[in-house]
Structures are given as C-alpha cells and as structure tokens.
Amino acid sequence: MLYVGIDVAKNKHDVTALNVPGKTVLKPLTFSNNKAGFELLDLSLRQLNQDCLIALENTGHYSFNLLNFLHEQGYKVYTYNPLLIKEFAKSLSLRKTKTDKKDAHGIALKLLSDPNREQFQHDNRQVELKILARHIHRLKRKQSDWKVQYTRCLDIIRCLDIIFPELDKIVGKHSEYTYQLLTCYPNPQKRLEAGFDKLIEIKRLTASNSRAFCRALKSSPNHQIEIRNSLDKTIDFSYSLSFS
C-alpha cells in the first residue's frame, strides 16, 4: 500500500507518495489543474503498480474537479482540514522551510501515520448533498423575495384598475413601454396634459396606441394618485423574473 499526498493550489498541484516505512517512492511531481494534469497524475500512480490511498487538504472549490476525477478512477480519497495538516507539520518541524513539495510530503505522512484516517474518507455524495442544500436555501430565499415583490405587483395592478382601467384593454399592464409611460406620467392628469405628441415619443408605443390612450384618458377617472414607488418595485420584480 502507498500513501499519496497532494498539495492543492489554484492552477497546479504537487504530489508525492510514500510506502509503509515512509520512504518516498514517487519523486515530487507538479501537475496542472486540468484534465491533462489529472491524467498525468493517474498515469504516474498506476506505474507504481501498488494500491494507493490519497489525501489532500479540504480546500473547497480548488479541489472539486480533482476529487471527482480521483473518484471516477476508483481511488480511495481522504480530505483533511488544513489546520490539522498545519499542526501535524509543526509537530514534525516540516514548516521551517515551506514549499509545496514539502506540504505534499507532510500530507502523505499524515495519512500514513493516522490511525483514524477512515473518519476523513471523502464521500462525493456528501459534497453533492451540500451543493443541493445550498441551492435549496437560495431558492427558498428567492421565493420569499418573489412573494414580497409579487404582493407589491398586485398593489400596482389594483391601483391601475382604479386610476386607469382602460390601460389593460389598450396595451396590457406589463410591458416596457407601459412602465415608461407610467414612470413619466404617474397619474391620469399628467398623461392627459402630455397629449399625443409626448406619448408618441415613448419607445415602442405605436401611434394607434397613443391615440387610443388619449381617447381613453379623457374619460378615465382623474384621481391624483402617484404610483411611481409601486411601479419601481414592479419593474424590479419583472427584471428579477427575467434573469432568474
């Protein structure tokens, strides 16, 4: 049985392997954090013609792809908290001169000498569960935000039904030009004063719709209700749905 230590970094990793007496059987090797580098590691280990246990520090996303690769190749993998490795290295005075190659050697030595290594065995299913749990938490948080914004959206719909019931029949309540119209002219009186010449300047609002607005405004209830704040909330809600 061989004990392999891998020091993980962002772009490259260092690896070394020890036999049971603690002798180095694989000269320190640096490989890239990509498929070609992983295949080089796999080839180097298989050329040793012995079963390998592999250990590395639990460094989060830097080691994610490497761990997946090692599991796919059938290796038994262990992950240690970096603090445990640091304390172990101090006890062996390995940190007087810090190098990545010495770190890899220290990790391999920790694995070799650890009688409780099985409790540090890495399980991909646990990682997947953590990822799914975080995703569910994000979805629940978004759901809560959407409920609040949806309530605000209902508020502006009720408001529009009161101050401009004809709007829905002409262009609908939710479109880019409807939002622009209501932002520029947030109550019926201001829209009526704007007239056709101003309304036609609104992007994507056609001449026929502008004329229909003008006709409808003359008979619309003339309540002086400002809806700008509610409208801003509705626009934010619409964009959040678009990019979710």
Yes or no: say if 223 and 148 are a contact pair by the CB < 8 Å rule: no
Q: How many CA atoms, within 13 angstroms, populate the side-chain half-sphere of residue 120?
A: 22
| Cα 19–chain centre separation | 41
Amino acid at position 181, single letter? L
pLDDT of residue 12: 94
CA distance 96 to 89: 9
Give percent of the chain above pLDDT 70.
66
Least confident of 14-28, 49-63, 188-202: 188-202
Decide if pLDDT at 29 tops 80: yes
pLDDT of residue 100: 56
The pTM for the full model equals: 0.55
Least confident of 8-12, 73-77, 108-112, 145-149: 145-149
The average pLDDT across 180-198 equals 71
Counting every residue written for the chain, the total comes to 244
Instruction: Residue 105: count other Cβ atoms within 10 Å of its Cβ.
Output: 24
The average pLDDT across 81-97 equals 79
Q: With cut-offs at 50, 70 and 90, classify the pLDDT of residue 94.
A: low
The average pLDDT across 239-244 equals 50
Give the pair of three-digit tokens for residue 214. Answer: 């003008």
CA distance 234 to 150: 8
Least confident of 25-29, 174-178, 189-193: 174-178
The string over 54-84, giving b where at least 16 C-beta atoms fall within 10 Å of a residue's C-beta and e elsewhere, is bbbbbbeeebeebbebbeeeebebbbbeeee
CATH code at 2-122:
3.30.420.10
Mean per-residue pLDDT over the chain, rounded? 78
In the sheet that holds 2-8, the strands lie side by side as 24-32, 12-18, 2-8, 52-57, 76-80
pLDDT of residue 98: 55
| Cα 243–chain centre separation | 14
More confident residue, 12 or 159: 12
| CA distances for 129 relative to 65, 74, 138, angstroms | 16, 20, 14
Amino acid at position 49, single letter? N
pLDDT of residue 111: 95
The average pLDDT across 144-161 equals 69
Cα angle 177, 181, 186 (rounded to 5 degrees) comes to 150
Decide if pLDDT at 140 tops 70: yes
Decide if pLDDT at 240 tops 50: yes
Q: With cut-offs at 50, 70 and 90, classify the pLDDT of residue 141.
A: confident
Yes or no: say if 22 and 34 are a contact pair by the CB < 8 Å rule: no
Instruction: Residue 7: count other Cβ atoms within 10 Å of its Cβ.
Output: 25
